[in-house]
Amino acid sequence: MMAAVLLPLGGFVYLRFGADLLEAVEAGLRSRADALTIDLDPLSAPSTPDDPAGGAVRIDDPFAQILGRDGSIIESSADLGTTPFITAETIAGLQGELFLQALMPRDGELVTVRLLAVPADGGRAIVVGASLADQHEDLARLAALLGLAGPLVLALVTGVGWLVAGAALRPIESMRRETAAISASEPHRRLAVPRSGDEVARLAETLNAMLERLHQALENERRFVSDASHELRTPLANMSAELEL
């Protein structure tokens, strides 16, 4: 039962955390796109002895392309290659924000990136992106944590439930033993009624009422047997006397 509750709860936490991470990435992309919309300066500076990478934006950092209406690259962050992120048809159909997901090579592997394309003046388009590698690692760590914590929480809840159930059933077990100890030699004995006023107290009252009815039935039976014995004793005595004569 608890597993049926914990599994959906863990799934909800995982999905909610993933949605929050993606929302944070998209908020950063919006800020970058807004900045580029205001100022369309070149995205890569020439290299210098102090900065041989030429100010290039690494794949892990937000990166961007400014594309012409024909899909050609006007400006681009360094190390992004010569392939535009979106096609001319996509640029022509841009009416507002367009979020996309794509794969990009990094260190011989393909990484998932989140892209945001927005229209710019002159039929151009601004496309900014960021790697989702860190977010995927965070989700993997959360999944591992949930996988470890889930059984522990289940064991803890089961143990607590067992203790609570035992404490709740202890008065009932006490009444059971007390009821079993009542014998015919103690017809007036009754169960102790707890002062809790709950279901256990009402159960004790019900059992006492049942014991009282049984006691009354037993008393009625004894009186009937006694009366019948008395009524039969006189005729039998008379018959015995007549037989002796």
Tens of pLDDT, residue by residue over 146-193, are 888 888 888 888 888 888 888 877 878 887 787 777 766 666 777 778
> What would the mean pLDDT of 10-14 be, rounded to a whole number?
87
116, with CB counted inside 10 A (0-12, 13-18, 19+), is buried
> What percent of the chain clears pLDDT 70, i.e. is strictly above it?
80
> What would the mean pLDDT of 90-101 be, rounded to a whole number?
91
- pLDDT of 57: 36
Q: d(Cα 193, Cα 190) in Å, to the nearest integer?
A: 9
14, with CB counted inside 10 A (0-12, 13-18, 19+), is middle
- pLDDT of 51: 44
Q: d(Cα 72, Cα 23) in Å, to the nearest integer?
A: 29
Name the residue with tokens 């388009």: 125
- pLDDT of 189: 77
Q: d(Cα 104, Cα 127) in Å, to the nearest integer?
A: 14
- pLDDT of 56: 37
Mean pLDDT of the chain: 79
- pLDDT of 193: 80
Q: Which of 126-135, 166-175, 221-230 has the highest mean pLDDT?
A: 126-135
Q: Which of 73-87, 90-104, 145-159, 224-238 has the highest mean pLDDT?
A: 90-104
Q: Is the pLDDT of residue 48 over 50?
A: no
> What would the mean pLDDT of 65-87 be, rounded to a whole number?
86
> What percent of the chain clears pLDDT 90, i.e. is strictly above it?
20
Confidence of residue 245 (pLDDT cuts 50, 70, 90): low
Q: Which of 11-25, 53-67, 68-82 has the highest mean pLDDT?
A: 11-25
- pLDDT of 169: 79
Confidence of residue 110 (pLDDT cuts 50, 70, 90): confident
- pLDDT of 106: 75
Q: Which residue has the higher pLDDT, 132 or 242?
A: 132
